[in-house]
Structure 1
């Protein structure tokens, strides 16, 4: 790790997850009780903090300004070389930019939504190291959307997935399960899964990015979530072969805990789904 603890992430890869909340102190108490996280102030002011687990940064928490109509939600961020170019690609392909690009600390970031309304962010610049010594991130990202293949084309074009650049992301599509797997340096960093229903009132079913945090045992996490004022779905098998539960914190932020970070799925074709620059 660099002396400052910051690195330049590989472009196209997930580099951070962030939760916006209306009560930062209460939210920190919840995640400390449920996931054992510790918190320190961030470098973006008094309304931000950085969560760590076993000494490793895992997530950011930010407090929503009073009066702003923003629901508590987890947002994944992807590393990019140029935030302005990425914002242009999002707009050209039917997505929307909600915030930015704007400068924060050591870089510039933006929050966007894809064509089906799934919210994500992107980041240009240096960031906290978001992986262990094996290159594994503390959270796994899964997009559940209307059409996995169509969504993969969208993200491949804006993030240069499957561009063929050395060290970049590669993608593979499993026709029979409508799953796209995104890999970087042999590590699966995200999956895109079809079947989301855009008009569903259930946020677990609507197109959105799901953040999965790895845990050793799901059952005590479910119990801790209930005790801390959250809700949790019953223990269920996860696509990766372990168990999982979808948890809602008291502010409505949804996340998944699972005993395996990488949902498995048969891969029948590997290579570019589609890419292109601006």
Structure 2
């Protein structure tokens, strides 16, 4: 599926210790790393030549927390940031020129961080395809309210290919493009929760062909298994914290 404005177009990790972080993800998920066209301090993770994710040193240069961020493709970063502020949410950084594009970091009204990107998109990258993330999910306090926010900010109604399905019983929203699910929004998240399993945030799921081996590699290279393997509708899932503090999920088929 080709990426269109308003939907996830990339994921990126802010890091402090680039070498240790790359060693960790290389061991756990078999990634390789190359310099990015975005400029110094940016790297691209690949698997079998396919782009997977971005790494950047913004945790140091922009004084941002170490975390995985979901970026949404937009036509006009300035306009989108105006909409974010108008709806009581926060723009933390930007829009700034990054390489040949423009990027901004924001937080929705419930505290979940996300990014917007105006510019060229990685070729062949799509959620659920190849080695890109298998799934993206917003854990939030109210999935329906969050969907209204993102829909208004990202102008989902402008593009007829966009759609949203809502499961009221489970308070879960699915974002659709041409009938394909590209991300989910799930209720029950709490911004100040002590348990990382229920904090408000965007979760990035990466596939692991052998999740048990991947978890062993994570612990061996300085990571922490935050939650043991659990059975979910899409497979076996575990939450991991990398050596720099970034949280993500592993999904075993």
* TM-score, structure 2 as length reference: 0.92
Q: Match for residue 30 of structure 2?
A: 36
Which residue is 2:125 aligned to?
131
- For this pair of structures, how many residues does the alignment match? 250
Contact 2:15 2:59 in 1 (8 A): no
- Counterpart of 1:181? 174
The answer to whether structure 1 residue 87 and structure 2 residue 63 are counterparts is: no
Aligned partner of residue 80 in structure 2, secondary structure: helix
**What is the rounded CA distance, in whole Å, between the counterparts of 1:134 and 1:195 in structure 2?**
24
How far did residue 43 of structure 1 move?
2.0
Q: Match of 1:242?
A: 235
**Whose helix proportion is higher, 1 or 2?**
2
Q: Give the structure 2 partner of residue 169 of structure 1.
A: 162
Paired with 1:146 and 1:120, the residues of 2 have a C-alpha distance of 16
| 128 and 117 in structure 1: CA distance in 2 versus 1, 3 angstrom threshold | same
Counterparts in 2 of 1:175 and 1:67: CA distance versus 1, 3 Å: closer
CA separation in 2, counterparts of 1:86 and 1:189? 20
User: In the alignment, does 2:223 pair up with 1:230?
Assistant: yes
**Counterpart among 9, 12, 35 of residue 3 in structure 2:** 9
**Structure 1 unmatched runs, 5+:** 1-7, 261-278
Aligned position for 2:187: 194
Deviations 1:200-257 (A, max 9, x none): 123332110001112223111111101111011211112x341010010001000001
Please state whether the residue corresponding to 1:128 is helix, strand or coil: coil
- Deviation, structure 1 residue 107: 1.2
Alignment of 1:19-168 (within 5 A): 19-64=13-58, 66=60, 69-131=63-125, 138-139=132-133, 140-161=135-156, 163=157, 165-166=159-160, 168=161
Scaled by the length of structure 1, the TM-score of the pair is: 0.84
Helix, strand or coil at the partner of 1:176: coil
Give distance in 1, aligned partners of 2:80 and 2:88: 13
Residue 70 of structure 1 and its aligned partner are, at CA, apart by 3.2
SS at match of 1:234: strand
